Copies of this chain bind each other. A is one copy, B any other.
Amino acid sequence: MDAIRTITTGFLGLGNIGAGVWRLLDEMGEEIAAREGVRFRVKKALVRDTLKRRDVSAPPSVLTASADDVLDDPDIELVVEALGGEQPAAEYIRRALTSGKSVVTANKLALATHWQELLETARATGSCLYFEPGVCGAIPVIRTITDSLQANRVERLYGIINGTTNYILSKMSAPFAGQGSASGATGSRGVSYADALYEAQRLGLAEPDPTADVEGGDAACKLSILSTLAFRAHVPLEGLFRRGITTITPVDVAYGRELGYALKLLAVAKRDGDRVQARVHPTFVPLSHPLASVNGSLNAVYLYGHACGELMLYGRGAGDAPTASAVVSDMIAAVREGCVGGGDAYRMTGKVVMETDWESRYFIRMLAVDRPGVLGAIAGILGRHGVSIASLRQTVGNGRAPLLFVTHIARESDVRAALSEIDESLAAIENVIYVEEGL
């Protein structure tokens, strides 16, 4: 058996994730030394308050309130960044890479917003930047794309990559009898968005300010990273379309389920030559598709490569232990790959044009004025814009009747144009939701 190597490490942050990594190294340190021939010594850990009581065995001498103690210490070869937030995390990562340290980060925001600068810095200095824990926690999706799909053209990628919103949408759809009529569905027992959010917050699955999750910002960061790697061309965060889940009602969820769909905050990236569409929005997926059974706070990424075919990775996308599992795996990768002085194997080979007017099927829910000719007029408007109707469900109301359309494949701009012509004399548009059937 070879000698065991010790790697001197610095932590930026010792909150939930940092402490999780600390505990996992404590628990598995001997086993990792036996398995991998490496031991990690944490020399310094940046914390806000060095006197705060912590649930880790870090001795007081390790704690520091100064980032310089980590970033300027030449002994420290490897930095674990677990501060969260864009700044100062991104700047600290850049400084560490500049001084030749390798970095493992769980910070998708810092990474997605400073992608090119950080990767160029790593390339220039020969240091390595690892970020598996930043994208879907313990699910090895980064490593799969970079290390297992090198011979593939990845053409489509779909993800349920935000556990908070998936938990909320699961709550809004369950318990659901699944047998009601459209009117029965209206009365189903899925909880409201507000109640589901409250429950998620109570369980620690949502932040006190849930904006980044529920408006799709967190998922957009991850999608930018995932699609950049999958397409081998930078897919900038600014180019992504995003819509959150705050306008979703249990009625939409219930109607969709009747039509054979589960509602997910889906991240979608498609490539056609150099044209790319990348978007995060509430989406109906067929109940028979594996993504439909990804429930609660679980995550999954489903992709197609031209050689590998369909591939799905499913697991825990967040939480202290799953994230720590990915952090320690990346720390070991940095050693295995000789990254203390090594290089970056992954190369970008293309450029893309962001597609903003994509084609999709659409679920359109309206409250139509209940008089003869209205349905015909609405169908006529849609048809004139090239939006054809795949299925239609209509129930009778008092003055206003719920009207559901699922369209055939239509262009986003055509749907928008058609809906803008449908005024209050015909119907009120209640919600428009993307439907993915070609998964």
Q: Which residues of A contact B (CB under 8 A)?
A: 1, 24-25, 28, 31-32, 34-37, 132, 137-140, 143-144, 147-153, 232, 288, 290, 293-294, 298, 305-316, 319, 321-322, 324-326, 328-329, 332-333, 336, 345, 347, 349
Contacts of A310 in B (CB 8 A): 298, 314-316
Contacts of A321 in B (CB 8 A): 306-309
Contacts of A336 in B (CB 8 A): 345
Contacts of A148 in B (CB 8 A): 132, 138, 140, 143, 326, 329
Query: Is the pair B311, A290 in contact by a Cβ cutoff of 8 Å?
Result: no
Q: How far is the CA of A322 from the CA of B311 in the complex (A)?
A: 10
What is the chain B residue whose CB lies nearest that of A346? B35
Query: Is the pair A36, B143 in contact by a Cβ cutoff of 8 Å?
Result: no
Q: How far is the CA of A294 from the CA of B293 in the complex (A)?
A: 11
Residue among B31, B308, B313 making CB contact with A312, cutoff 8 Å:
B313
Q: How far is the CA of A144 from the CA of B326 in the complex (A)?
A: 11
Query: Is the pair B151, A24 in contact by a Cβ cutoff of 8 Å?
Result: yes
Closest chain B CB from A385 CB (angstroms): 37
Query: Is the pair A138, B308 in contact by a Cβ cutoff of 8 Å?
Result: yes
Contacts of A139 in B (CB 8 A): 311
Contacts of A288 in B (CB 8 A): 293
Residue among B24, B147, B149, B232 making CB contact with A307, cutoff 8 Å:
B24
Residue among B144, B309, B314 making CB contact with A316, cutoff 8 Å:
B309
Query: Is the pair B24, A329 in contact by a Cβ cutoff of 8 Å?
Result: no
Query: Is the pair A322, B308 in contact by a Cβ cutoff of 8 Å?
Result: yes
Closest chain B CB from A423 CB (angstroms): 44
Residue among B144, B306, B319, B325 making CB contact with A152, cutoff 8 Å:
B325
Closest chain B CB from A175 CB (angstroms): 13
* 5 contacts across the A-B interface (CB closer than 8 A): A31-B349, A307-B328, A308-B315, A309-B315, A314-B314
Query: Is the pair B347, A37 in contact by a Cβ cutoff of 8 Å?
Result: yes
Q: How far is the CA of A294 from the CA of B349 in the complex (A)?
A: 34
Query: Is the pair B308, A325 in contact by a Cβ cutoff of 8 Å?
Result: yes
Query: Is the pair B34, A349 in contact by a Cβ cutoff of 8 Å?
Result: yes
Known: A329-B148, A347-B34. Contact between A307 and B322, CB under 8 A?
Answer: yes
